[in-house]
Every structure is written in structure tokens, then in C-alpha cells.
């Protein structure tokens, strides 16, 4: 590798010195979690921290998101670095000095760490702009947990002025021990469509079902028909998952209600199959409700498309981590699951790569759980990997 691409400072030492700051910020965010679109204090804190660092063009975007620019002294691409910042509606059960102070809200997915890591990365990048090639667009994204934060940031113009060439992101992995990084090419997380079906029948006394149109019976037939369709047409190991998580109807054992509500989620790795299944749900609803004499309303809320790691960008990331972080992290192939990640909107817009950083010490921890916890010192692996990728990106 040409020496002209080598940073003029020691990345590992810079991360070591910045780690206490990142840990402090992570633990502050963890103790003060905020739900999607309500990240007011988090937004204000990030804005203030970036401003104190002297980051350029710091501004609030997409409601409660924050962005800023770091211009390197050397020519190179514009790279967007993304961190999501919202928490989940859960009551924390893990007791630690920085446990959530907000009833019913906690950082159970690691977004507190993502935000703290990107603050640390920004601090180091801004201090060492003399050897930075290109420009860094910081994206502290709100509303990742099902509220379209990434899409709204794009709509607000975060990929323009200057035009972003590449995007990078990471996520804590409770299934991986500290010091491990999971990364893969191609599809790495599924699309997600959450849907609500409202069934309208004709209520009446439970002793006279022939005079009624039961939305409960319609719902049972609909669930079976949809699940049978998905199983028979798509049970071929390609990652299609359709789950019903809610069925609400009625209040009394002897009264047939007027309405019923079903809620579910669809995950796929194939856009064609995604559309076919959504069309089939519409057709099944029409057929079943027509047979019974009822009606329906269907509301589909797309969370994200399939998240795709660009082959070229991901190959660069892997080679950089192998060459410059091999003595500190172990790379493992990423096994795709049925989870969804709205970084997918960035990956659909520009060549991107998204990877997972292990955080557990003794035993795996489950995300989106009241017991989710990890040691803040795992931030050093996030920060060091991201910095190496940024500084060496142009040399690979």
C-alpha cells in the first residue's frame, strides 16, 4: 500500500483516548432514552456536541435528526456515516448505574451505542482532517424503529450538497462476542411490511350466529388462507416470513362483535415475491369477506426494502478490516436473518455496506428485550473499524 494513504496519526491510540468520552455519551443516552420522533433531548445533545467539536454545517434534519460535514484536506469521495438514535417502548429489567430513567422506554437495540460511536468517530475525524481523503456526511438518524427515519432524511436532502457517493453503517450484535465483526455481500436483512386488517361483519347474540356475520370466523379463515398461501408457494428457504402478532375482537363470550382487527408482518428477500404476497393478501381478503358477506380495510405500512450490501464496497471494507484490524477483530461471514433494517433506504440510493459488531462478554444477549445489555467498552471495536474503513477507503 502506498504510504500516501497512511493516516498521520495512530488510529488505535486515538480510539483509546476517545473511548471514555464515547462511554460517557452512550451511558447518558441509555439513561435518557426517547422513542421514535420524540428524540428531542438526544437531538439537542448531539447538536451541541457536534457544534462544540467545530463540525461544519451542523443542523437538525427530518424532525429530530442531526447532520454535519467534515471536509478532509485531501481529495476523495463523499461518504455518509449513519447512526440511528431512537429507543424502544420497553421497561428495562437490567440493573446498572446508567439504567433507563424513563418508565416504559429503554435502549434495547443498541442505538445509544451507535450514536455515541459516531460522536467519537466525528471527534477523531475532525481533529485529523489533514490526512482525511474526501468528505464525511454525518447522519444521526431518528425513527429507525418503524417510523421511516432513513427515508425522511433522504427526502430532506441528506444525500445532496454535496452529493453522497457511498454510505456506511454498523449495528451492535448481541449474538456475537466482543471483538467479532459480521459482514456479508448482497442481501443482509429482509424487507418489512407491517399490515393491519380490519374486518367488518354484522354483530348479534351468540345464540343466533346465522343472523350475524362473524368477523372472528372471517379472521380465522383469512389467517389460515394467507399462511397456507405463503407456505405452499414460498416455503423454499428464501427467507419469506409472514407472522400474525395480533387478533382483537369482541368483549363478551355471548356476543358476536361487529369488527375484528388483525395485525401482522411480512419479511422477504425478494421484491417480486414481496409484491406477489401483498397482492395475494388483498385477493384473499376480498374472496373471504365476499363469501361471508362482510367487508375489509387493509393498511400496509412499509418499514424498509431489502437491505443490500454492495459487492464492491463490501469487498473494500473486508480487505481494510483484514489488513488493518486483524489483530483486534475477527471477521465472520454474516448469516442473514429475517430482521429488517431501514439503512436499506440508504443502500438503495447509493453503494453501501453495513456490518455488525459483537458486544457480549459472557453469553449472547437478545435485542428488543427488557434484559438487553452490553459493556460500553465494546464501543472501541465500533469506532476503530469505522475509522479504518474511512481513512483507507480510497486505497482499496
**Residue 1: what pLDDT?**
52
- Residue carrying the nine cell digits 367488518: 200
**Residue 233: what pLDDT?**
73
Cell numbers for 287: 374472496
Q: Annotated binding residues, as ranges? A: 109, 111, 145, 171, 368
Q: Cα dist. 236→92, 230, 240, 241, 252 in Å?
A: 38, 10, 8, 11, 41
**How do residues 96-139 score in pLDDT, each as one tens digit?**
999 999 999 999 999 999 999 999 999 999 999 999 999 999 99
**How do residues 204-234 score in pLDDT, each as one tens digit?**
999 999 999 999 999 999 999 999 999 887 6
Instruction: State whether residue 26 is helix, strand or coil.
Output: helix
**Nearest to residue 320, comparing CAs of 56, 31, 7?**
7
**Residue 232: what pLDDT?**
81
Domain over 191-304 is classified CATH 3.30.70.360: yes
**Nearest to residue 21, comparing CAs of 140, 117, 126?**
117
**Residue 2: what pLDDT?**
53
Domain ranges of the chain: 3-189+306-395, 191-304
**Residue 147: what pLDDT?**
78
Cell numbers for 277: 404476497
Q: Annotated binding residues for Mn(2+), as ranges? A: 109, 111, 145, 171, 368
| Cα–Cα distance measured from residue 355 to residue 332, given in angstroms and rounded to the nearest whole number | 10
How distant is the alpha carbon of residue 384 from its chain centre?
Answer: 21
Q: Cα dist. 383→21, 22, 45, 372 in Å?
A: 12, 9, 19, 21
What are the residue ranges in the chain where pLDDT is below 70? 1-3, 234-238
Half-sphere exposure of 298 (CA within 13 A, CB side): 18
Q: Are 273 and 194 in contact (CB under 8 A)?
A: no
| Cα–Cα distance measured from residue 147 to residue 88, given in angstroms and rounded to the nearest whole number | 12
For the domain spanning 3-189+306-395, the CATH number is 3.40.630.10
Amino acid at each position: 500500500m502506498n504510504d500516501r494513504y497512511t493516516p498521520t496519526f495512530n488510529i488505535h491510540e486515538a480510539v483509546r483516548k476517545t473511548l471514555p468520552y464515547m462511554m460517557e455519551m452512550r451511558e447518558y443516552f441509555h439513561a435518557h432514552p426517547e422513542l421514535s420522533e420524540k428524540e428531542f433531548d438526544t437531538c439537542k445533545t448531539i447538536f451541541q456536541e457536534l457544534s462544540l467539536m467545530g463540525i461544519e454545517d451542523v443542523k437538525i434534519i427530518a424532525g429530530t435528526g442531526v447532520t454535519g460535514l467534515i471536509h478532509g484536506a485531501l481529495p476523495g469521495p463523499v461518504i455518509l456515516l449513519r447512526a440511528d438514535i431512537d429507543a424502544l417502548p420497553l421497561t428495562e429489567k437490567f440493573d446498572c448505574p446508567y439504567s433507563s430513567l424513563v418508565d416504559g422506554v429503554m435502549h434495547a437495540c443498541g442505538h445509544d451505542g451507535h450514536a455515541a460511536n459516531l460522536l467519537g468517530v466525528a471527534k477523531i475525524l475532525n481533529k485529523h482532517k489533514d490526512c482525511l481523503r474526501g468528505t464525511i456526511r454525518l447522519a444521526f438518524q431518528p425513527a429507525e424503529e418503524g417510523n421511516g427515519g432513513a427515508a425522511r432524511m433522504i427526502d430532506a436532502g441528506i444525500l445532496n450538497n454535496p452529493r453522497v457517493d457511498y454510505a456506511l453503517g454498523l449495528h451492535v450484535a448481541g449474538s456475537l462476542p466482543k471483538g467479532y465483526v459480521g459482514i456479508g455481500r448482497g442481501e443482509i436483512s429482509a424487507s418489512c411490511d407491517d399490515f393491519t386488517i380490519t374486518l367488518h361483519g354484522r354483530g348479534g347474540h351468540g345464540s343466533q350466529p346465522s343472523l350475524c356475520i362473524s368477523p372472528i370466523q372471517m379472521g380465522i379463515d383469512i389467517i389460515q388462507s394467507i399462511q397456507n398461501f405463503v407456505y405452499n408457494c414460498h416455503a423454499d428457504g428464501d427467507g419469506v416470513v409472514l407472522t400474525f402478532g395480533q387478533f382483537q375482537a369482541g368483549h363478551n363470550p355471548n356476543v358476536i362483535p361487529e369488527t375484528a382487527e388483525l395485525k401482522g408482518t411480512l419479511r422477504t428477500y425478494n421484491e417480486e415475491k414481496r409484491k406477489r404476497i401483498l397482492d395475494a393478501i388483498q385477493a384473499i381478503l376480498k374472496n373471504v369477506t365476499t363469501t361471508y358477506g362482510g367487508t375489509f380495510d387493509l393498511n400496509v405500512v412499509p418499514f424498509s426494502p431489502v437491505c443490500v450490501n454492495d459487492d464492491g464496497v463490501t469487498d473494500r471494507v473486508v480487505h481494510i478490516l483484514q489488513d488493518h484490524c486483524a489483530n483486534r477483530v475477527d471477521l465472520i461471514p454474516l448469516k442473514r436473518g429475517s430482521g429488517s433494517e431501514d439503512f436499506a433506504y440508504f443502500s438503495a440510493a447509493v453503494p453501501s455496506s453495513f456490518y455488525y459488531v459483537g458486544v457480549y462478554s459472557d453469553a449472547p444477549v437478545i435485542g428488543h428485550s427488557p434484559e438487553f445489555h452490553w459493556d460500553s467498552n465494546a464501543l472501541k471495536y465500533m469506532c476503530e473499524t469505522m475509522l479504518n474503513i474511512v481513512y483507507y477507503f480510497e486505497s482499496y
